[in-house]
Amino acid sequence: MSQPFSTPITEMFGIRLPIVAGGLQWLADANYVAAAARAGAMGFITAASLPDTAALRDEIARCQDLAGGLPFGVNVSMLPAPAPGERVEETFDEVARSGVRFVETSGRNPEPYLPMLHAAGIKVLHKAPSLRHALKAQAVGVDAVSVVGAECGGHPGIDLIGSMVQGALAGRQLRIPVLLGGGIGLGAQVIAALALGVGGVVIGTRFLVAEEIWAHRDYKETLLRLRETDTALIMQSVRNTVRALHNTSTDKVLELERTHAGDFEMLRPHVAGLLGRKAYETGDASVGALSLGQAVTFADRIEPLHDIIARIESEMCAALDGLGRLRTPAVRATAGAVPVG
């Protein structure tokens, strides 16, 4: 199989394309993650979507079968502070026993767990909402980081810095492999991100219409009708900003934030994770805080994930060719190969 791009991210993960399929809560199961692997990208099973470590063990085994030896990882989302029943160490132990070589962490600082993960031969990618958090993660010893811009679905951080600025800052200041996420859904955007100096991109929202995503078809059909303006930023008053599909739940949350700013207990019934899962099961997207980025505007059909990624790869190559034609004939004649990332 050809290796069209070589960046610090493709080298670290051993993948064809500098693309990580975002860890989607409730949705990033073995089918989705293995499909990403077979398409030349990297994916992470979301451990928090599973009820216990036994279920995680089974899901990892299923993904290993479906991926056919291609690399994938496990996403472990941690609360801001350790809490009873969180089972973080238990999850990491299970991942290590399974032979999975990559973990994606998010939430609090992963530093306490790095020795055990590195001792097991596991490389750690940490998700950071800002450059300062990414620099901290680099300082404590993670192997790679991802930073996200304000366009992303889920948690874009409280500063709401756009992806172009985040990517340029990260590409200049980080020494370890770095990914950029937020608003990316086209191959030309991937090339633009690589030009900023990052080693790859995270794509989540664009992949929600993949056939391997188990969510109800009615939910996916809803996404196909949306534009970049059909998301809402909620929970800013509790300093836990979420970009989600604009629906009745986000309207209610925004109303409560105007009248009860900073009171998370008032918001909790409207942002509970189980509401989101029910929406995916039923296809009724009018209720629930459904993480969604502005890249939903690029979702144009329901199709296999392989086909979505193949189109993005084709767009990447076309974008590179187009950039090459911008050079004058004299420069093109003398230009040598330029490394990417």
- The predicted-structure confidence for 280-321, as pLDDT tens digits, reads as follows 999 999 999 999 999 999 999 999 999 999 999 999 999 999
What number of residues does the chain have? 341
- Provide the 10 A C-beta neighbour count for residue 64: 18
Position 332 scores a pLDDT of: 65
Position 278 scores a pLDDT of: 95
C-beta of residue 59 within 8 angstroms of C-beta of residue 33: no
Cβ density class 169-188: b for 16+ within 10 Å, e for less: bbbeebebbbbbbbbbbbbb
Binned at pLDDT 50, 70 and 90, residue 340 comes out as low
The C-alpha angle 167, 183, 81, rounded to 5 degrees, equals 75
Q: How far is CA 104 from the centre of its chain?
A: 10
Q: Is 292 helix (H, G, I), strand (E, B) or coil?
A: coil
C-beta of residue 59 within 8 angstroms of C-beta of residue 29: yes
Q: Does the pLDDT of residue 161 top 60, yes or no? A: yes
Q: Does the pLDDT of residue 44 top 90, yes or no? A: yes
Q: Does the pLDDT of residue 1 top 80, yes or no? A: no
CATH architecture of 8-203: Alpha-Beta Barrel (3.20)
Binned at pLDDT 50, 70 and 90, residue 79 comes out as confident
Q: Does the pLDDT of residue 334 top 80, yes or no? A: no
C-beta of residue 201 within 8 angstroms of C-beta of residue 180: yes
Q: Give 210's strand partners.
A: 303
Mean pLDDT of the region 190-201: 98
User: What is the pTM for the complete model shown?
Assistant: 0.94
Tell me the percentage of the chain whose pLDDT exceeds 90: 88
Position 194 scores a pLDDT of: 98
- Which distant-in-sequence residues (6+ apart) come within 8 Å of 157 by Cβ? 129, 130, 133, 148, 150, 241
* Cα–Cα separations (whole angstroms), residue 339 to 8, 155, 187, 244, 318: 11, 32, 18, 37, 17
Q: Does the pLDDT of residue 337 top 80, yes or no? A: no
What does the block give as tokens for 71?
A: 């690399």
SS (H, E, C) 118-155: HHCCCEEEEEECCHHHHHHHHHHCCCEEEEECCCCCEC
Binned at pLDDT 50, 70 and 90, residue 329 comes out as confident
Report how far residue 200's alpha carbon sits from residue 204's, in angstroms, rounded to the nearest whole number.
13
Q: What is the DSSP letter of 51?
A: S
Q: Does the pLDDT of residue 336 top 80, yes or no? A: no
Mean pLDDT of the region 223-228: 98
Domain ranges of the chain: 8-203, 217-294
- The predicted-structure confidence for 237-257, as pLDDT tens digits, reads as follows 999 999 999 999 999 999 999
Binned at pLDDT 50, 70 and 90, residue 335 comes out as low
